[in-house]
């Protein structure tokens, strides 16, 4: 069951932080090309490449857009593959996400296209540049994310 984001009151700008590494969801160099890598990365100056617009899309679903590039966080066609940034229709189920409360203010970010799968830092990596996958829910910390409001 989806949980409401306690501090979410409409479109907002957020940093999305992995709980196992405390690193941020990051769109590689804010590239606008389709299939741009989504990865985790430590804090960048002014959080360039790490700011995401989270917007309600109805039915407890959300769109997550890279602020600088304007591309959607997109689930892959197949489960267990990397998430990417893409310019596509907001009605595509691959760009829609549900937030389910995990613990300590963190959420599992479920793919609407793959309902039993969530955003997952590959291999519980601590490294900058580690890819973010859409992977089966296993409730580990590398699948838990906090939304941090930013400017």
Whether 72 is covered by a domain: the verdict is yes
State the total domains in the chain: 1
Residue 108 DSSP SS3: strand
Over the stretch 22-45, which tens digit does the pLDDT of each residue have? 999 999 999 999 999 999 999 988
Nearest to 82 by CA among 36, 142, 19, 13: 36
Q: Is the pLDDT of residue 1 over 50?
A: no
The CA–CA distances, whole Å, from 31 to 16, 40, 46, 67 equal 18, 15, 17, 11
Over the stretch 4-13, which tens digit does the pLDDT of each residue have? 455 554 569 9
Containing structural domain, residue 41? 12-149
Whether 101 is covered by a domain: the verdict is yes
Higher-scoring residue by pLDDT: 109, 1: 109
- 27 near 49, Cβ under 8 Å? yes
Whether 57 is covered by a domain: the verdict is yes
Q: Which residue has the tokens 């409360």?
A: 101
Q: What is the pLDDT of residue 7?
A: 55
* Ramachandran angles phi, psi of 37, nearest 5°: -60, 135
Q: What is the pLDDT of residue 8?
A: 57
- 75 near 114, Cβ under 8 Å? yes
Look at the alpha carbons of 71, 98, 13, 104 in this order and tell me if their dihedral is positive or negative.
negative
Whether 89 is covered by a domain: the verdict is yes
pTM, to two decimals: 0.93
**What's the CATH code of the domain at 116?**
2.80.10.50
Q: Which conformational region is residue 141 in: left (phi greater than 0), alpha (psi within -120 to 50 degrees), or beta?
A: alpha
Whether 145 is covered by a domain: the verdict is yes
d(CA 84, CA 36): 5
Let me know the angle formed at the C-alpha of 113 by 134 and 91, rounded to the nearest 5 degrees: 125
Whether 2 is covered by a domain: the verdict is no
Whether 6 is covered by a domain: the verdict is no
């Amino acid at each position: 069951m989806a949980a409401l984001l306690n501090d979410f009151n409409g479109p907002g700008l957020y940093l999305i932080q992995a709980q196992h590494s405390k690193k941020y969801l990051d769109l590689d160099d804010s590239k606008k090309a389709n299939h741009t890598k989504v990865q985790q990365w430590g804090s960048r100056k002014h959080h360039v490449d790490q700011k995401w617009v989270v917007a309600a899309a109805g039915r407890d679903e959300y769109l997550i857009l890279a602020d600088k590039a304007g591309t959607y966080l997109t689930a892959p066609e197949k489960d267990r593959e990397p998430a990417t940034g893409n310019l596509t229709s907001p009605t595509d189920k691959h760009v829609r996400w549900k937030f389910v409360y995990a613990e300590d203010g963190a959420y599992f970010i479920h793919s609407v296209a793959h309902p039993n799968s969530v955003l997952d830092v590959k291999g519980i990596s601590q490294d900058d540049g580690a890819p973010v996958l859409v992977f089966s829910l296993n409730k580990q910390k590398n699948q838990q994310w906090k939304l941090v409001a930013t400017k």
